[in-house]
Structure 1
Amino acid sequence: MLLLHNKKNLRTSIFKSISNVDQFKMLLLNWSQQFREIVYLDSNNYPQKYSSYNAVLAVDAFTSIKTDYHNAFEDLKQYQQQTKDWLFGYLSYDLKNDTEKLKSNNFDGLQFPDLFFFQPKKLFFLKDNQLEISYLAMCDDEIDSDFEEILNFNIEEESHKTNINVKQRISKEKYIEKVQEMLTHIHRGDIYEANFCMEFYAENIIDTVKIFKRLDEISEPPFACYFKNNKHYLLSASPERYLRKENTKIISQPIKGTSKRFEDATLDRQSKTELAQNPKERSENIMIVDLVRNDLSHTASKGSVNVEELCEIYTFKQVHQMISTITSEVEINTSPVEILKTTFPMGSMTGAPKISAMQIIEELEETKRGLYSGAMGYFTPTGDFDFNVVIRSILYNAEEKYISFSVGSAITALSEPEKEYEECLLKAKAMHDVLVS
């Protein structure tokens, strides 16, 4: 056991070896439920080039920031500079209204704040079988007792079926009409591409840990997240990274392009090959790559924006996805929040040109996106960060008993409304199944 004390941020760290990592992760998540604020991140051991930890748990706010979109990025910048500590939280999609003259007037059943971050008293970092426990000084005498409590935590058996009645906010007929309107905008030259989303919802009480566990098992994504802020919850099986900062390197990995998995190996390979060669999927991916390159250029050192991967196919349990990797370099004194502000919302969830696409999205969609298609992640004490894209996720307001998940697809000139609708249902399947089964 190694004990470290960091006077700069008053954290004490203890290192331990974990024998059964999967079991420990479940114990950790269940133990965390006693706290008002929780962020649990899990990479599910998905092979990826850019990764710091297999899993992270942050609980119990020492300080926090919660705000609407007005001046949100400036408030976050000041908070991050003042704490110079680990911060965990989210940026909702509607922070677009802080950077552009945009609005969000659609129905909101979830009522999440537009931005929330907290400085956790207690942190757990898992890398392979090595665990780092890092507590703020006022809690450091609790480390050993908490660790023993976690190891001996009693997990209740699975409850009965949920049988939740999930409803669709936009009917199939209405969805097709709206996509045709989007296509009219595209053919008129207003936009080249837009991500159009629709909501599924229910009113019920759910066991958030059990629902998250099922969703995570179905998908095993690299950016899974369980979030709690009092009565607000996010249960996310996201496969997509929004933005990561490693020292002066910035990494963006937008997803555009989806195809179905098959149990039959031949059909599955065929689906993967067809996705790689599909001109519509490649064109929508490349359009977003161009948009991300432009976004990164706002803070990049001259000539440093680079496309590391273009239209690579990644395989997940539910689907094959087309992912590109774009990187840049920034000056060492560049504010991390400024990098986020000049790239947010992520291009994969808006379209191109970005502002026009967001205006049309607001007109045609019927639900305020909120945290859906926003980003969840963390800042390190040195100003590095890593954020996912909040997709393939269930959002829940426990006070209102309101459950919501949304799905979308990229509409381009080559889009066929019926096929876009089928893609949405494919993306909705995992969230739907864990709620109704």
Structure 2
Amino acid sequence: MIREIDGIYVDAFALFSCFKDEPYPFLLESGMCHDDLGRYSIIGWDPFLLFKSKEGSVEVKHGGKVEVSEADPFDLLKEYMEKYRQISERTLPFTGGAVGYFSYDLKNLLEKLPRTAAKDVDICDMHFGFYDETVIIDHRDKKTYAATYGITGKKESILDGICKRVKTYFEKSGAVSSDIGFDPQDREETSFTSNFTKEDYLKALDKIHEYIRQGDIYQTNLTQRFTADLKTTPEKLYRVLRKVNPAPFASFIPMDEGVIVSSSPERFMRLTGKNAETRPIKGTLPRGKTAAEDEANKKALSASEKDKAELLMIVDLERNDLGRVAKTGSVEVTELYNIETYPTVFHLVSTVKAELKEQAQAVDLVKATFPGGSITGAPKIRAMEIIDELEPTERNIYTGSIGYLDFNGDMDLNIVIRTILCKGKKAYFQAGGGIVWDSDNELEYEETYHKAAALMKSIEIANKLGD
């Protein structure tokens, strides 16, 4: 059930501040003006159930009780989603459901893979809150809605409470924006350390080329992780990042183990009814310093046969993964080489769609396709084995997925890139790229810095602003 909150349309993070002190709040934010990708932002708080998985053990907190299970977390999550299954009209993208993340390292539950990379940042493998009270902001129509399924109480009473709370907050605070004033050039010099030296990263790229030469793989995604001291709050860092690098699949998610600060441009998987969609990104060039250079870089990416070939490999991989749970003949590529523009880079993007088999549900779709092929390589299993061999540390949330599973069966998940994990006084983030036979090692190494640029800039600005 939904209700418009009359007279309220404001900046999403300003509205989030109304609920930020509640247990386990979240913001899924669309930070770009786009009818499809950037239309809605979603806010939730105080989940009635908390679902967490770590190293083979699942913990479920509900009604003051804690249950621990050794069951497969994907299968158990599916059971809980079925338990709270609701029927609803799809007038908004989300009315209530599970919100959180799947970490990249859950791949080890889906396939038999080696585990040699060090686990040096301790967070859950899977973390979802089950929410029955949410606020949805429609950026296109400039409207704000309260939403509930009425699982935790009477629908009308829940909606009354949400509307009253939002209106009272803004009557008292007068808040209309969370814009934070800063000079983009005014930064604190910050040291960023990598889990690779440049020499070792280039050696790892040489090994990938050798695997390609031997026929093991066609492509592998190699990344490096950066670490920096954080001299500000995660909240302030997100306020900077969302201005430096607005993105359609951004999020701010405080957890017990840390805070996720994300500005991802990439959708992993959306499910609406039985219609699934994935949007892999492959191919990146930096924005130009002048209008002429900017246009030249855009044209160069559009014309790049290497990047097109790289993306095509992943499109074929995604078609195959979708085929596991899709109706025969329903998988189709609706966009192949689309250029998308972001504040610091251009990306080459494709869209693949399919209709799920009647018995297939959201968690089945995740299990069939996770992790996304754009951040593994092809063939996927061998590529993931090589990633584990060459990358020194586990990826945890990086290249996993953040998003929601609605109680009505819908789902929308991103690929966790351009994302910072704030833990203690440290900021962790990664960047990488797909390596193919004709990849240039120096250029691939430089590309990781192009992709990390907005995150580094945001940390330096936020560190200058302090707490």
TM-score normalized by the length of structure 1 = 0.91
1:309 is the counterpart of 2:335 = yes
Distance verdict in 2 for CA 1:48–1:285, change over 3 Å: farther
CA RMSD of aligned residues (A): 2.1
CA-to-aligned-CA distance 1:101-141 (integer Å, 9 cap, x gap): 11444233431100011112431111132211125544726
CA shift for structure 1 position 392? 0.5
1:236 is the counterpart of 2:236 = no
Partner of 1:123: 134
Partner of 2:161: 142
The answer to whether the 8 A contact 1:202-1:402 is kept is yes
- Residue from 1, 7, 16 that aligns with 1:29: 16
- Residue from 174, 177, 184 that aligns with 2:210: 184
CA shift for structure 1 position 188? 0.9
CA shift for structure 1 position 180? 0.7
CA-to-aligned-CA distance 1:330-373 (integer Å, 9 cap, x gap): 13431210011000000001000000000000010012101000
- Name the amino acid aligned to 1:93: Y
- Residue from 403, 412, 422 that aligns with 1:377: 403
For residues 100 and 69 of structure 1, the distance between their equivalents in structure 2, rounded to whole angstroms, comes to: 15
For residues 157 and 277 of structure 1, the distance between their equivalents in structure 2, rounded to whole angstroms, comes to: 38
Distance verdict in 2 for CA 1:102–1:214, change over 3 Å: same
For residues 134 and 316 of structure 2, the distance between their equivalents in structure 1, rounded to whole angstroms, comes to: 37
Distance verdict in 2 for CA 1:77–1:130, change over 3 Å: same
Structure 2 matches for 1:34-45, cutoff 5 A?
Answer: 34-45=21-32
The answer to whether the 8 A contact 1:376-1:390 is kept is yes
Instruction: Indicate the SS of the match to 1:201.
Output: strand
Partner of 1:80: 81
Identity score, percent: 31
Partner of 1:366: 392
For residues 228 and 105 of structure 1, the distance between their equivalents in structure 2, rounded to whole angstroms, comes to: 29
CA-to-aligned-CA distance 1:170-196 (integer Å, 9 cap, x gap): 111111111111111111111110000
Instruction: Indicate the SS of the match to 1:60.
Output: coil
CA shift for structure 1 position 163? 5.1
Structure 2 matches for 1:129-208, cutoff 5 A?
Answer: 129-135=142-148, 136=150, 137-138=152-153, 140=158, 142-151=161-170, 152-153=172-173, 164-208=190-234
Distance verdict in 2 for CA 1:211–1:96, change over 3 Å: same
- Residue from 3, 6, 13 that aligns with 1:14: 3
The answer to whether the 8 A contact 2:230-2:459 is kept is no
Structure 2 matches for 1:385-400, cutoff 5 A?
Answer: 385-398=411-424
Instruction: Indicate the SS of the match to 1:170.
Output: coil
Instruction: Indicate the SS of the match to 2:212.
Output: helix
Identify which range, 32-41 or 415-424, moves more after superposition.
32-41
Instruction: Indicate the SS of the match to 1:67.
Output: strand
The answer to whether the 8 A contact 1:62-1:121 is kept is yes
Structure 1: 5+ residue stretches without partners: 5-12
Instruction: Indicate the SS of the match to 1:236.
Output: strand
Distance verdict in 2 for CA 1:319–1:83, change over 3 Å: same
Partner of 2:377: 351
CA shift for structure 1 position 395? 0.7
For residues 369 and 249 of structure 1, the distance between their equivalents in structure 2, rounded to whole angstroms, comes to: 30
1:403 is the counterpart of 2:427 = yes
Partner of 2:53: 67
Distance verdict in 2 for CA 1:394–1:337, change over 3 Å: same
The answer to whether the 8 A contact 1:247-1:332 is kept is no
Partner of 1:10: none
The answer to whether the 8 A contact 1:69-1:94 is kept is no
Partner of 1:284: 310
Instruction: Indicate the SS of the match to 1:111.
Output: coil
Instruction: Indicate the SS of the match to 2:31.
Output: coil
CA-to-aligned-CA distance 1:300-319 (integer Å, 9 cap, x gap): 10111100011111111111
1:413 is the counterpart of 2:437 = yes
Partner of 1:423: 447
CA-to-aligned-CA distance 1:375-411 (integer Å, 9 cap, x gap): 001011210100010001111123xx33200001101
Aligned length: 421
CA shift for structure 1 position 69? 5.7
Distance verdict in 2 for CA 1:18–1:422, change over 3 Å: farther
Distance verdict in 2 for CA 1:334–1:183, change over 3 Å: same
- Residue from 81, 90, 110 that aligns with 2:121: 110
- Residue from 35, 38, 42 that aligns with 1:56: 42
The answer to whether the 8 A contact 2:9-2:144 is kept is no
Partner of 2:459: 435
For residues 427 and 45 of structure 1, the distance between their equivalents in structure 2, rounded to whole angstroms, comes to: 18
- Name the amino acid aligned to 1:424: T
